[in-house]
Amino acid sequence: MDQRRVAGVGNIYANEALFRAGIDPSRRADRLTRRDYEALFGAIRSVLGDAVAARGTTVRDYRTGTGQRGSFQAGLAVYGRGGEPCVRCGTTLTTTHAIDGRATTWCWRCQHARSGRQT
């Protein structure tokens, strides 16, 4: 199995799960509350469930924009959408490589306002 491909796919799902859970991706994992973890695990399950239902994400096609596209990328809310409007609030999505060296795209409004405030 191609580890880079797997890591890349994992990164997509991580981006999507953090968005669905409303968690700021720059937060340290050890600072997350139990409620954050529960939201995140629920989000990961829902993202993976959607991906399976859509028969996976055709990463290569998605990145190049050529060939036949798979179906899950049509449901991506943040990954690969830096600079585009957030599907939830319309704020321009931000892409950073500062967190773990890979592309992380997120909405500062949806994934920041809830951090640490909602208990």
List contacts with Zn ion (CB under 5 A). 86, 88-89, 91, 107, 109-110
Q: Considering beta carbons, is residue 12 or 110 the nearer one to Zn ion?
A: 110
How far apart, in Å, are the Cα atoms of 40 and each of 6, 19, 71?
Answer: 20, 9, 23
- Check if the beta carbon of residue 19 is closer than 8 Å to that of residue 107: yes
Instruction: Name which of 71 and 94 has its Cβ closer to Zn ion.
Output: 94
**Nearest distance from C-beta of residue 55 to Zn ion, angstroms:** 27
Signed CA dihedral, 7, 10, 12, 15: sign only: negative
Tell me the closest approach of the beta carbon of residue 86 to Zn ion, in angstroms. 3
Which of 107, 81, 79 is closest to 23 using CA atoms?
Answer: 107
Judged by beta carbon, residue 102 or residue 109, the one nearer Zn ion is: 109
Q: How far is the CB of 52 from Zn ion (least distance, A)?
A: 25
